[in-house]
Amino acid sequence: MVHTGACIANLLGQGGSRKYHLTCNWLRYFKNDRDRRDLITCGSAAGVAAAFRAPVGGVLFALEEAASWWRSALLWRTFFTTAVVAVVLRGLIEFCRSGKCGLFGQGGLIMFDLSSTIATYSTPDLIAIIVLGIIGGIFGGLFNFLLDKILRVYSIINERGAPFKILLTITISIVTSMCSYGLPWLAACTPCPADAVEQCPTISRSGNYKNFQCPQGYYNDLASLFFNTNDDAIRNLFSNGTANEFRMSSLFIFFTAIYCLGLVTYGVAVPSGLFIPVILAGATYGRIVGTLLGSISDLDPGLFALLGAASFLGGTMRMTVSVCVILLELTNDLPMLPLVMLVLLISKTIADNFNKGVYDQIVVMKGFPYMEAHAEPYMRHLVAGDVVSGPLITFSGVEKVGNIVHALRITGHNGFPVVDEPPITETPELVGLVTRSHLLVLLNSKNFMKGQVKTSGSFVLRRFGAFDFAKPGSGKGLKIEDLDFTDEEMDMYVDLHPITNTSPYTVVETMSLAKAAILFRELGLRHLLVVPKTPDRPPIVGILTRHDFMPEHIHSLFPNLNPHKYHSASMAG
């Protein structure tokens, strides 16, 4: 029962992105990279919108964290998606209000409705909040640091095969269960408050004031936190006017347990998120601070819990606007917005001094060739020609089938420059870029010629429809291994002009690498052609791919390059 509420929302969220992946197969318009990328962005927006019932937060999350490019069309599409999610979700909650669907639908569209009338805060309160933000930032940075270490250990374990994966998952489950069941023994029993609105104590059902081995009329506050749904635990921590519901010692134990469990759980082979554990740990931390300051500050510990959650989110996720809006949509506590913004500002600034955001860290750790939006400072001291890696394979405008097949077989390159050479033109001349997938489609049609002559290209229009060159679903495309050619066919020629992209983006070899990287990143390129500075050389120097801009590649070419030295130098210039 513990995770049911969160799981249904999570299932909806994952359905949000998986659903679109499925529809890809029969919707032809999505058969290109850009639209597919947009759909994944929309899917992630829909996921957040559904999981947190925060449609606008979902849009912002997708744009701040998931999307590499910001286009107004993308904004419109994600907004469309989440608006539909919001209306559907609203309808489902309405439908489930009568309790037909388990815990789903509880709490309505706002998960942790606070709607507090904010107490006016004084200067000491503001100082307390700033200190809370600073400590929250430190804890958030520490969380990222530890998570990175743990994930690295896990990835070694997981690589050893499925049995190890399962063993790890089982171990973590057992540890979690032991913590959940064992730790409440440490807490003393608390007498039920006389004015409790809810049933107290509750036994064998979800709810607050868990009895757990206490005599009648008493409850175990730590068990109330552990044996509740995460949603209810967060709601309890956020709640106002319940300053004495939790003991200090219980909050400390719960905070330590949740912080550590959140760290060890994320990397195991179960679909678990970071948001809820971080909010839970942050809220507990905030409530501890609030309880400690109870004598000095007029603010309710529940408000401190909200600010603590914000500080942890700022410290780990490093998102600002989206966390703001998600917290606003979760709690409906608009008057707290300025304080939430202040805390986010402080905790992000503090944590940025230590390390990168948790999602950026994971991307780096997984080894994805993710390009930073800005060029690294040392790139200013290199030129595009420096990092081109050879050997370069080019095709003639009308190329022998055998050469193409050979090139496709021995390399994994996805793009090849096409150069017209005598006798087709007088001097070697760059025609453009041809991609592997288009080459495979052309080869598959086996429309070859005996001689090396340039055709009108009209046969391509006759033979192929617009969607024959469309991007296939992953794992569904043609592979060079699937194609067989006779020796006769291998000696024939094929005209590449009709399928060549004649407007590839190019840079001169003396172009600063930093500027080439910006061009590559901003336009979202796959290949960037490097052309020579002077005309006395072949018309193409090389081809830059994402891999060539990665720091590892550059450092392997220039082992003596010291990024820190260049960093300071460039800051001074």
Residues forming contacts to a second copy in the complex (CB under 8 A) are: 55-56, 59-60, 63-64, 69-73, 75-76, 79-80, 82-83, 86-87, 89-90, 94, 108-110, 115, 120, 320-321, 324-325, 328-329, 332, 334-335, 337-338, 341-342, 344-345, 348, 373-374, 383, 427, 429-430, 466, 502-503, 505-508, 510-512, 515, 518-519, 522-523, 531, 533-536, 573
* Burial class, 78, CB count within 10 angstroms (exposed 0-12 / middle 13-18 / buried 19+): buried
- The least distance separating a second copy from the CB of residue 325, rounded to whole angstroms, comes to 6
Q: How far is the CB of 302 from a second copy (least distance, A)?
A: 18
Question: What is the DSSP annotation of 420-451?
Answer: E-TTTSSS-EEEEEEEHHHHHHHHHHT--BSS
Least Cβ distance, residue 311 to a second copy (angstroms): 14
How many Å apart are CA 520 and CA 523, to the nearest integer? 6
Question: Judged by CB, which is closer to a second copy: 191, or 338?
Answer: 338
Find the shortest distance in angstroms from Cβ 374 to a second copy.
8
Can the peptide bond before residue 201 be classed as cis, meaning omega within 30 degrees of 0?
yes
Contact 387, 403 (CB under 8 A): no
Nearer to a second copy, 13 or 201 (CB): 13
Of residues 179 and 326, the one with the C-beta less far from a second copy? 326
Nearer to a second copy, 35 or 429 (CB): 429
Shortest distance in whole angstroms from residue 333 CB to a second copy: 9
Helix axes 123-159 and 337-352, enclosed angle (nearest 10): 50
* Token duo for residue 201: 């104590």
Closest CB to a second copy among residues 39, 516: 516
Residue 566 is inside which H or E element, if any? Answer: helix 563-572
- The rounded distance, in Å, linking the Cα atoms of 292 and 297 is 9
User: Least distance to a second copy from the beta carbon of 519, Å?
Assistant: 6
Least distance from C-beta 468 to a second copy, angstroms? 14
- Residue 528: CB atoms within 10 A of its CB come to 26
User: Which residue lies nearer to a second copy by CB, 94 or 198?
Assistant: 94
Whichever of 2 and 345 has its CB closer to a second copy, that residue is 345
**Residues contacting residue 501 through CB under 8 Å, at least 6 positions apart:** 432, 433, 434, 435
CA distance 527 to 520: 8
In angstroms, what is the minimal distance from the CB of 320 to a second copy?
Answer: 4
Q: For a second copy, which is the closer residue by CB, 338 or 422?
A: 338
Nearer to a second copy, 103 or 324 (CB): 324
Confirm if 112 and 285 have CB atoms less than 8 A apart: no
Cβ proximity to a second copy, 25 vs 502, nearer residue: 502
Q: How far is the CB of 467 from a second copy (least distance, A)?
A: 12
Residue 26 C-beta: closest distance to a second copy, Å: 21
The closest alpha carbon to 37, from 21, 59, 60, belongs to 21
Q: How far is the CB of 376 from a second copy (least distance, A)?
A: 15
- In sequence order, the 6+-apart residues with CB closer than 8 A to the CB of 366 are none
Instruction: Name the residue nearer to a second copy (CB basis): 19 or 381.
Output: 381
Helix, strand, coil content of the chain in percent (nearest 5): 55, 10, 35
Report DSSP letters for 491-528, one per residue.
TSEEE-GGG-BS---EEETTSBHHHHHHHHHHTT-S-E
Distance of CA 413 to the CA centre of its chain: 27
Q: Which two tokens stand for residue 186?
A: 């440490």
